[in-house]
Amino acid sequence: MKRNKLKLVLFVLFLSFVSTAFAVYPNLFYLPKKTKLKTGTYFGLQSGRFYALEYGWELQRKTREDLVHSNTTAVHHGLNASFDFSRLNPILGYDIGFWSRTGNFDLTYGLSAAVRTDLKQLRFGVCPSVGIKVWQLHVQTGMYVLAPFYALDNTTFNSNTFFISARFLVVKHKKTKGAN
């Protein structure tokens, strides 16, 4: 008799835990129906104090495909080149980072690590960005925070601080996983 009561109490506790979990976190046990992976190269133009050409690679992962709720996450890395006409020298850079979007009509939010050089010195920094992605065109704006800071150290080269860029992804590989 005691065993049956213990089993009944444990079963009721289990049911209350599961119902509470679904009430608080409705997507707790939800598996995405579809996941799309897209990879390819991107070409871009960045405009700030200087114009910079961009070339790189990007991997995008998109889950939960429906009209309003789909999540896209991407990682990217690429090179960029610009020319500082005031000092007559090139500025070369490398960026690596990620961005994420939580819906089809939402903004993208990203963070990148950046390296810039004028072939004499190096500057390292980070770049938070926000943007809009439509089809394969990604327009974003952000701010590079590079050390040493040009305003405090006039002996170093200048680079874009605030910028707007447009990148176009040329998809080379596309893979879909999950149910239709």
For residue 144, tell me if it sits in a domain.
yes
Q: Work out the burial of residue 155: count CB atoms within 10 Å of its CB; fewer than 13 is exposed, 13-18 middle, 19 or more buried.
A: exposed
Is the residue at 20 inside a domain? yes
| Structural domain that includes position 26 | 1-30
Give the pLDDT of residue 107: 94
Q: For 4-29, write each residue's pLDDT tens digit.
A: 666 666 665 565 555 555 555 555 55
The model's pLDDT over 29-72, given as tens digits with 9 standing for 90+, comes to: 555 467 889 999 999 999 998 999 999 999 999 887 666 677 89
**Rg of the chain in Å (alpha carbons):** 24
Answer yes or no: is 180 within a domain. no
Question: pTM for this one?
Answer: 0.75
46, 73, 83, 84, 133 from 88: Cα distances, Å: 19, 38, 7, 6, 35
- 89 and 162 fall within a common domain: yes
Total domain count for the chain?
2
Q: What is the pLDDT of residues 125-173, one digit of tens each?
A: 999 999 999 889 999 999 999 988 876 777 778 888 899 999 999 999 9
Q: What is the pLDDT of residues 106-128, one digit of tens each?
A: 899 999 999 999 888 899 999 99
